[in-house]
A = this chain, B = another copy of it.
C-alpha cells in the first residue's frame, strides 16, 4: 500500500500539475465577480478601519466616524420599540410566562401577545415554520394590507422572507431565465437590484429619474428606455419602482402611479414595487399610496397587471435591521406560479422566526385602549418626527457647502445631493482610474470622517456627480459632519481650482 502510494506520488511529481479548478478570480462564476454593491464597498472597509484606529486612540484628529452610508438606524442610536422587544424577549424565553413576578416586569398586553404567539406557533420560535411563514403572521399581514388599501388580501399570496432583500432575490430568480431577459431599473437605484441582475445574468435596463423634477418619474423616459432595450433584443419582463425612492426620497403621486400601471398593462411588464419606506414620509400633504391600491382602484381592466410588492421591518420607524424580517405579496399571479415560488422558498426551509414575529407586530401594533398603545405611539412619533427634522436640517446644512445642491427629501431615509467637482479634480480621478465621486467620497471620509456612498454606486446621468447620505444620525452629529465636510470641500475647491 505504502509503496504503491509512493509510486503514484513519483508519477505525479514528474508531470507538472495544472490546477484548473482551484478557485480564483478567473474561474469563479463571473456573474459574482461582476456584481457591485457600493453600499458596503471599499469605502466602508476604510471607514471601519478608521473607526478602529479612533477607538484605539491611534487617530485623534477625529472624534468618530459618522456612518451615513447605510439605512441602519439602530447602529446610529435609534432605540427599538419597547413593545416589540418585550414580546420577542418573552418568545425567546417562554419560561418567563410562568414566572409569578412576570407582571411586574412586562405589561399585560405584551404577555398576552407572547402567549398568543406561543399558542399559534405551537412550539415557539425554535422550530422551522412552514416555508411561506407562520400562518398567523400571514393573516396579520393580510389584515394590515386590507386596512391600508381597502381591498381584501389573501394570505396565500404573501411570503415572509429574511428581510425584503431575500424576497426580491427569489422573485428576480423566478423571472430571469437568460441574458436576454431584462428588468427596468430606476437610475439612481438601490444597488441591490443591479447586483442581483448581475448575479442572475439578466439584463439591466436603465431609466433615469428626473433630478430637475425632484427625481420624478417621467413616462416618456420609460417608453424610450423600453423601446431602446427591445430594439437591442432584450425581453423586458419587469420594471422596478422604489416608492418612496431610494436613494432619492421622492414619493410618487397617484396620477403618476396610474401612468406606470398603464405602461405595465400596455407593455405586458410585471411591476416590482419596492415599498419598504411606506411609513417614511416627511412632507406635509404627501401621503404614501400603495401600487396595489392604485391598481385595484383602476378596476378590472387592469387585473392582468402582475404586481410584486415588498415591505420590511428594517425601515419605517422600527429600524429592526438585524432581525431580518420582510415579506412580499404577489398580486394577479397564477396559483401555479405561486406554487413554484413556494417550492423555491422551501429550499431555504423558512425565514427566521423572530423576524416573522416582528412583522406580525409591525402589522398589528397595540390598539388604542391597550396598555402599550400610548408608549408605542409615543416612540413611533418621536422617531418619525426626529427623522423629519433631521432630513430638514441635513438638507439645509448640505446646501451651505459650496458645490453641493439638494432638495429636501419627501420620504425614505436618504438625500442624494448633486456635487459640482472642479474639472482638475475630475481629471485627477480619471488618471487614477477612479470614479470622480468615489474619489470625492474618499476625501470626505478621510478628511471629515463622514462615510457616504458615491453616486456612481447608484447610477447617475453621465457627467453629473452625487452621493447618498442617510439622515439617521442625531442632529449634533449631522451638524458636526456637515461642518467638517464643508472644510474638506472648500479645500478640494481651493486645491483643484
Contacts and interface: CB of A to CB of B under 8 A. Distances in A.
Contacts of A25: 334, 336-337, 340
A10 interface: no
A381 interface: no
A323 B72 CA distance: 21
Given A85-B93, A199-B173, A337 B127 contact: no
A234 to B, nearest CB: 12
A95 B75 contact: no
Interface stretch (A151-159, A266-274, A401-409, A433-441): A266-274
B92 A85 contact: yes
A321 interface: yes
A8 B320 CA distance: 46
Contacts of A177: 27-31
Contacts of A169: 347-348
A93 B86 contact: yes
Given A128-B72, A237-B21, A337 B28 contact: yes
Interface string A267-300: 0111000000000000000000000000000000
A236 B21 CA distance: 8
B101 A104 contact: yes
Interface residues of A, number: 105
Contact of A131 (B12, B40, B101, B236): B40
Nearest to A80: B126
A246 interface: no
A162 B355 CA distance: 12
Interface string A90-128: 111111100101001100000000000000001111111
A124 B74 contact: yes
A199 B341 CA distance: 12
Interface string A19-58: 1111111011111110111011100000010000000000
Interface string A125-147: 11111110000000000000000
B333 A35 contact: no
Contacts of A196: 347
Interface in A51-90: 70, 72-75, 77, 80, 82, 85-86, 88-90
A322 B92 contact: no
15 contacts: A21-B238, A21-B268, A22-B304, A23-B337, A30-B177, A32-B173, A37-B346, A40-B130, A74-B126, A89-B96, A101-B105, A126-B321, A128-B322, A199-B347, A324-B353
B348 A32 contact: no
A364 interface: no
Given A24-B337, A32-B344, A324-B349, 18 more contacts: A20-B235, A20-B268, A21-B236, A22-B268, A22-B304, A23-B175, A23-B270, A27-B177, A28-B175, A30-B177, A35-B347, A41-B343, A70-B128, A73-B127, A75-B128, A352-B352, A352-B354, A352-B355
A259 B236 CA distance: 50
Contact of A92 (B41, B92, B351): B92
A20 B304 CA distance: 12
Given A104-B101, A304-B19, A349-B163, A29 B92 contact: no
A17 B35 CA distance: 36
Given A176-B29, A347-B195, A321 B72 contact: no
Contacts of A192: 347
Contacts of A73: 127
A166 interface: yes
B162 A352 contact: yes
A142 B107 CA distance: 41
B336 A24 contact: yes
A174 B347 contact: no
Nearest to A166: B348
Which residue among A48, A92, A125, A177 has the maximum number of chain B CB atoms within 10 Å of its CB?
Answer: A92
A469 interface: no
A65 to B, nearest CB: 13
A21 B323 contact: no
A303 to B, nearest CB: 11
Contacts of A29: 173-177
A165 interface: yes
B163 A348 contact: yes
A350 interface: yes
A347 B105 CA distance: 39
A319 interface: yes
B23 A333 contact: yes
A418 interface: no
Interface string A297-313: 00000001010000000
